Structure 1
Amino acid sequence: MTSATGLLADYRAGRLSPVAATRDALARIDELNGTLNGFCLVDADRALADAAESAERWRRGEPRGLLDGVPVSVKDLLLTRGWPTLRGSRTIDPGQRWDVDAPSVARLREHHAVIIGKTTTPELGWKGVTDNPLTGVTRNPWDPAMTSGGSSGGAAVAVAAGMGTISLGTDGGGSVRIPASFSGVFGIKPTYGLVPVFPASPFGTLSHVGPLTWTVADAALALDVLSGVDGRDWSAGPRPAESFAAAVAAPSVAGMRIAFSPTLGYVSVDPEVAASVASAVQTFAELGAVVSMADPGFANPVEAFHVLWFSGAAASTASLSEGQLAGLDPGLREVREQGARFSALDYLAATATRAAVGRTMGEFHERYDLLVTPTMPIPAFAAGVESPAGGRWTGWTPFTYPFNMTQQPAATLPCGFTSAGLPVGLQVVGPRHADARVLAACAAFEQARPWQATRPPVVTGVTSGSPTRGKLL
């Protein structure tokens, strides 16, 4: 599977058909999903029918939309018409009516992407790894004994393993960036409101929708599709005047003021991760950026984040019966019980901390165009556990959740490997509404240090199989 932009070029030149591309993605799912568990639902019949319609449009020279015929997938937290959205939970009735698309899914359809299926998530998207009581553990394509990260773990696996080109994820505390970093793909959490959301997340304005892709150009193309106003989301902003694809067409960081914060002033980082990130940052200097060592200047806001996040967990489970609550992921049950004990004053105090961090970052970006950090302080750890050393998932994600609190655009891109062959991610953070700047910097790095030639070992030797036919996996 090539990139989305590569597929579109092949379709345009008549070198490849959307049907062939879709069959290839389905074959990889059949071959690898039993090991990786990236998909919880695949509808091959519907995907192939949509691909055939796309092929006919391309044959006539009349493609419609920016993603016509491109195989994509959707995280199973986003409503998708005709398919259940079970969110990794036994508490949701799959037999109810499923006749609404989330705004991001509706935009994919409007641009005639071929939606293959839905990708795995932890129960209700509550943590930074991907396992749930309904579909089990999602594994890392670089080493299936390790976690893929989460909560968009299935989306990261889908892209890394070539099971499609673009996968939609959500990110409330790092849930696009964590699995993208652990799984060796590109992911971006855009400025809050750039991609509209419906229904509103129980985690409130912490949660963003963003793409995971194999290339920066694919993410830029996806954001051109996904951004813009939807009447169901009162907080969504307008589509930017310039396309994101144009912003990455001839990227440059020459003259940019880039701050490198290797620890944010308070994080302990694995030495191999630190070395890879430091090397990557040097690349920006070689490309003409003015790179300085600088911490943003805020203290770890984890306790305030816990109030906001655990309250959201309580809200997401408020309507469940005692029997349903007993069947939840035990960690989710613990945090929702803690969240239910917080008061309105606790929530307002956490919101004030959030505002203070946002103000600090706003002032920081008056001096620096971008901030770069490690995405994760550690490489991927054993699959099936919330944390490698006990405690909550927030204990090992200190670089990600602060920028959900501030609503800034933040991307992660592959920048190296540990001695065990596990990916390392570099995080690039920009001021609010500077998504094009973040993408351009990532694209410039990608050109200087391309990662696309290296695929996960589990992908090697994939053979064609019979497409999985419209079933829950």
Structure 2
Amino acid sequence: MAVELNSLSAVDLVRAYRARSLSPVEVIEASLTRLGTVDTALNAFCLVDEAAGRRMASESEARWRRGEPLGPLDGVPVAVKDTNHVTGWPMRFGSRTMPDTPSQFDTPGVARLREAGAVFFCKTTTPEYGWKGITHGPLTGITRNPWNPAKTPGGSSGGAAVAVATGVAPLATGGDGGGSIRIPASFTGLFGLKATFGLVPNFAHSLGTLGVFGGLTRTVADSALMLTVIGRPDGRDAFAVPFRDVDYADGLDRGVEGLRIAYARDLGFPDVDGEVAAAVAAGVGALSRAGAAVSAVSLDLSGLRRVMGVIWRSGYAGALRHLTGSQLQMLEPELLELVVQAGRISAADLQWAQDECRALSNRMQAFHGEHDLLVTPTMPITAFDAGIDTPDRQAFPEWFDWTPFTWPFNLSRQPAASVPCGFTTAGLPVGLQLVGPAFREDLVLRASRVVERDLPQKTLAWG
């Protein structure tokens, strides 16, 4: 029974709670049992609070018995990334420089999940301050990919991806400042959506408009449900857009007939693995068969690499400016070097980079005047060996270089999602990226659902 429970989606769980055929108490026990097995093998969790999980599940069970659920996620287990505050739990950012002190408040997205009745029971691993697209660091060590433990799950929401892929929880929170939701989604065969900046309230960050709160799920429908919840307003974010009361599950199965979809094979970054390209082409074929007008386009965004480097380095220098000299020495050496490099960036350089972001947003707005959606690979490669920052220092000097399809759409602030589209002969997942105009998450979700239906994925056997 536990194996069956671990395979259920959030939508399935809520349906079963409503029918009183399943209890949140049963589900949290299955989650806790699976977590123990997974963590031993893959090292994806940095905090486990069994008592809190059982208490919240018991309270949810009582509400369902009364017919008074708090919201659409009442009783659903959610794994929380360690870049998010949860009241009563420490938030370490994956760093030895952060104190083991309980938070006094929830991050806005976490608060919305709590209000909807979600059950919190664990926090997931992240690289130090979420600075790179893989998940290993000095505080928690190496997190591993459930499809092949010798490989990385990606990052920085790597622990979150492992939690969902292995069935510990159907939902996990993440953050995406350069691909940190979409990278692990692609590497672990999950669905991951980065919403338009400002749609989901969040705390301010030195990365400015790059960072977005979101989550990882096994199904598109679960992601639509999660976005509906976390997109609700929070007065602590002065830069959030006015609240749009949208149920993103509405129209999810409307399909893509008549939509104009552009297919860019490489965005000007030519090093796309052949098996990745073939899997993405299969996903594009699914969209075409569903009635979309698909056209191949040449879209070169490779000139933005320097822009990303300037903003990323400056942002992290700003985020870590509170650290003392001794604390800086506690950082992962590569992160410390990033901060040191930021000292050579001038104010004029930073202003130029920000101007380029605005120009990109305008360019993509014009692009979407002709194309409803854009399709690219999520990643040019599949998961590589765990514990290293790049699979090839010559081809990919920094993590930005092996993630060239994700971070451009943080710079432009657009919604972008990774949806599974196949596997390599080595059994590693491949993701297809769908990018939409600002605030058209509905189109991204609809197209993702088409790919999901047409290309059924393997089920990960775990535990």
Q: TM-score band (shorter)?
A: over 0.9
The C-alpha deviation readout for 1:76-98, integer Å capped at 9, x for no partner, is 11111100000110001113x51
Q: Which amino acid aligns with 2:205?
A: S
Matches of 1:62 and 1:399, distance apart in 2: 44
Percent identity between the two aligned chains: 50
**Residue 163 in structure 1 maps to residue 168 in structure 2:** yes
**Residue 51 in structure 1 maps to residue 57 in structure 2:** yes
Q: Which amino acid aligns with 2:275?
A: E
**Residue 383 in structure 1 maps to residue 386 in structure 2:** yes
The gaps in structure 2 that reach 5 residues or longer are 1-5
Match in the other structure for 1:468: none
Out of 322, 325, 330, the position equivalent to 2:328 is 325
The C-alpha deviation readout for 1:167-216, integer Å capped at 9, x for no partner, is 01000000000001001100000000111112x12222110111100000
Matches of 2:66 and 2:36, distance apart in 1: 31
Out of 234, 239, 245, the position equivalent to 1:235 is 239
Contact 1:247 1:439 survives alignment (8 Å):
no
Matches of 1:316 and 1:456, distance apart in 2: 37
Structure 1 residue 297, shift from structure 2 partner: 4.4
Matches of 2:89 and 2:136, distance apart in 1: 21
SS of corresponding position for 1:205: coil
**Residue 273 in structure 1 maps to residue 273 in structure 2:** no
Contact 2:158 2:184 survives alignment (8 Å):
yes
Matches of 2:243 and 2:214, distance apart in 1: 15
Contact 1:296 1:360 survives alignment (8 Å):
no
**Aligned residue runs from structure 1 range 348-367, under 5 A:** 348-367=351-370
Matches of 1:291 and 1:397, distance apart in 2: 24
Out of 182, 206, 210, the position equivalent to 2:210 is 206
Q: Which amino acid aligns with 1:415?
A: C
Q: Which amino acid aligns with 1:127?
A: K
Number of aligned residues: 454
Higher mean alpha-carbon deviation, 52-61 vs 206-215, is at 52-61
**Residue 84 in structure 1 maps to residue 85 in structure 2:** no
Moved over 4 A (4+): none
Matches of 1:251 and 1:173, distance apart in 2: 30
Contact 1:251 1:441 survives alignment (8 Å):
no
SS of corresponding position for 2:250: helix
SS of corresponding position for 2:150: strand
Match in the other structure for 2:197: 192
Match in the other structure for 2:230: 226
> What's the TM-score once normalised by structure 2's chain length?
0.96
Structure 1 residue 447, shift from structure 2 partner: 1.9
Matches of 2:301 and 2:137, distance apart in 1: 34
Q: Which amino acid aligns with 2:110?
A: V
Matches of 1:179 and 1:361, distance apart in 2: 25
Structure 1 residue 13, shift from structure 2 partner: 1.3
The C-alpha deviation readout for 1:424-459, integer Å capped at 9, x for no partner, is 0000000100011111111122122232xx2334x1
Contact 1:227 1:238 survives alignment (8 Å):
no
The C-alpha deviation readout for 1:147-181, integer Å capped at 9, x for no partner, is 00000101111100101011010000000000010
Out of 6, 17, 28, the position equivalent to 1:22 is 28
Q: Which amino acid aligns with 1:347?
A: L
> What's the TM-score once normalised by structure 1's chain length?
0.94
Out of 124, 131, 144, the position equivalent to 1:126 is 131
Higher mean alpha-carbon deviation, 210-219 vs 437-446, is at 437-446
Match in the other structure for 1:146: 151
**Residue 343 in structure 1 maps to residue 349 in structure 2:** no
The C-alpha deviation readout for 1:18-61, integer Å capped at 9, x for no partner, is 01111111111011111111111111111111101111111222
Q: Which amino acid aligns with 1:170?
A: G
Structure 1 residues 241 and 63 mapped into 2: Cα distance closer, same or farther (>3 Å)? closer
**Residue 178 in structure 1 maps to residue 172 in structure 2:** no
**Aligned residue runs from structure 1 range 298-317, under 5 A:** 298-317=301-320
